[in-house]
Amino acid sequence: MPSRRRVLAGGGLGLAGVVGSVRFVERPIPLDHEVESAIDWPMPRYDPAGTGANPDATGPREDPTIRWERDLRDLQGPMPAPPTLYGDAVFVVGRSSLYALEREDGRIRFERTGYSYLSSPTVASADAYRSPTLAVRGNEGVLGLSASGGYALAGRGIGLERWYGPGEEPPTRTFANPVPPSPVAADGTVYAALPDLDRLVAVDASSGRLEWSYEPDLVWPGEPNRPAVRDGTVYATFRPDVVAAIDAGTGDVHWEIELEPAEPEDEHDYRELVAPTATEAGLVVPSRRAVSLLDPADGSRIWEYEHGGRVTDGSVAVADGTVFAPDGRDDLHAIDLETGQEVWTTEYGLDAHPVVAGDVIYLTYSWLDDLIAVDVENGERLWEREIGAGPSQPIVGDGVLYFAGHEGVTALEDGGDGGDGEGGE
């Protein structure tokens, strides 16, 4: 009856996995989400809105020490994708594998081989399953993986991959560093920008079934950035200058606009939009030389902050009414979310994805080896630390900052006894 590849995949062995009666099987490891004081960072940029800020999280405020380091052979920088923090586990994707580490000490919970995992994992609730789905971008689609890791039998994962969507997975295998954009998850649905197809798709986190797909009608198809989801609306930006608001449930397009260039008289001037952030005040849309706030009702511009930089990557963080935007050339800008006025600027001339935890902004740049902490109040640099080349953007939990680097994952915490923690494998 079933005769095609993905039906076949894992068939007989999969049944053995379901029964769980095969010897020498690595079993799934249930997630404990009741960990005391566990603070999650379930997707890159923290939440569906893409704020990059968790008001409940705290990271190191003073020069940190290493809590743990874990060498992972499959992580090869630069530009590793950031880890994901959920329950008692830290998840990270390598060139051909998925790792789950113990949040407390970095021990490997499981390592599963897989192919074409091309982004960071995003935790998505999946009603039909006992553990969440980890959504990763694959070739021309999204893969839904088990956060418990499924079984492993003689090195072969069984039950790790729950689904691929939309459609059938292409036979191509890609060995590559995972990179943005990562999927976004909200209310059991995964929203993924697919650069291969210049398209945004929504798939069910349990079944992988396509709920809707969106391509802009305007201009030529451009590469989509990570979408932002808030209050039942998905906000998408496509390079060079398309912004759209789409109903998260139905896929109906509320509005779609081209953001006019900063210098309209220059026919070669484009916005070069990067990933947006959805806030209570409106949609924050960073672009090469400016940050704009758009009205979520119709996409009209509320304010625009011209920093004159040259942003080609990166994103903004939004916390407590302030937008933190690197300009990619000179400075990191703090902008009042309501008025669009400058609050402060501080020297930081790199494209980055700032994250905010408590009253600290953390910054890394994928081609350099610095991790920098900045005070949210005044932009004062609190500390900086050399962490090895090619770090991911950081994520922050309860007092601990995590990042993936060239050869593994590191957890930093506020310096106490001055020890440099436990070494990796």
Coil/strand/helix, residue 70: strand
Binding of another protein by 174 (CB under 8 A): no
Binding of another protein by 151 (CB under 8 A): yes
CA 424 to chain centre: 25
Binding of another protein by 155 (CB under 8 A): no
Binding mask 250-289 for another protein (x = CB under 8 A): ----------------------------------------
Measured between alpha carbons, how far is residue 284 from residues 104, 152, 255, 294 in Å?
Answer: 35, 43, 16, 6
Number of chain residues interacting with another protein (CB under 8 A): 42
Q: In this structure, what DSSP letter does residue 20 have?
A: T
Coil/strand/helix, residue 7: helix
Q: Which residue from 206, 225, 279, 366 is in contact with another protein, where contact means CB under 8 A? A: 206
Nearer to another protein, 165 or 399 (CB): 165
Measured between alpha carbons, how far is residue 14 from residues 130, 154, 156, 158, 167 in Å?
Answer: 17, 13, 11, 6, 21
Binding of another protein by 45 (CB under 8 A): no
Measured between alpha carbons, how far is residue 113 from residues 28, 94, 193, 240, 377 in Å?
Answer: 14, 9, 24, 36, 44
Nearer to another protein, 1 or 265 (CB): 1
The structure tokens 């990270």 sit at: 92
Q: Burial level of 65, CB count in 10 A (0-12/13-18/19+)?
A: middle
Nearer to another protein, 7 or 297 (CB): 7
Nearer to another protein, 4 or 268 (CB): 4
Binding of another protein by 405 (CB under 8 A): no
Single out the segment in contact with another protein by CB under 8 A; choices: 2-10, 48-56, 291-299, 349-357. Answer: 2-10
Whether cis (ω within 30° of 0) applies to the bond prior to 60 is no
Which ranges of 282-323 would DSSP assign to H, the alpha helix?
none
Single out the segment in contact with another protein by CB under 8 A; choices: 123-131, 279-287, 290-298, 395-403. Answer: 123-131
Half-sphere exposure of 414 (CA within 13 A, CB side): 11
Binding of another protein by 121 (CB under 8 A): no
Q: How far is the CB of 10 from another protein (least distance, A)?
A: 3
Q: Which residue from 209, 280, 342, 384 is in contact with another protein, where contact means CB under 8 A? A: 209
Binding of another protein by 168 (CB under 8 A): yes
- For the chain, how big is the Rg over CA atoms in Å? 21
Nearer to another protein, 73 or 156 (CB): 156
For residue 386, give the nearest of 402, 374, 401, 370 by alpha carbon. 370
Q: Which residue from 3, 36, 347, 417 is in contact with another protein, where contact means CB under 8 A? A: 3
In this structure, the strands spanning 53-54 and 355-357 are parallel
Binding of another protein by 212 (CB under 8 A): no
354: number of Cβ within 10 Å: 27
Query: Is the separation of the CB atoms in 325 and 316 below 8 Å?
Result: yes
All residues at 6 or more sequence positions from 368 whose CB lies less than 8 Å from its CB, including other chains: 350, 389
Binding of another protein by 171 (CB under 8 A): yes
Q: Which residue from 94, 141, 208, 282 is in contact with another protein, where contact means CB under 8 A? A: 208
Binding of another protein by 314 (CB under 8 A): no
Rounded CA-CA distance 388/202 in Å is: 36
Query: Is the separation of the CB atoms in 199 and 217 below 8 Å?
Result: no
Binding of another protein by 303 (CB under 8 A): no
Binding of another protein by 146 (CB under 8 A): yes
Binding mask 5-24 for another protein (x = CB under 8 A): xxxxxxxxxxx-xx------
Single out the segment in contact with another protein by CB under 8 A; choices: 59-67, 126-134, 294-302, 402-410. Answer: 126-134
Binding of another protein by 233 (CB under 8 A): no
**Residues engaged in binding another protein (CB under 8 A):** 1-15, 17-18, 28, 126-131, 144, 146, 148, 150-151, 158-159, 161-163, 167-168, 171, 204, 206-209
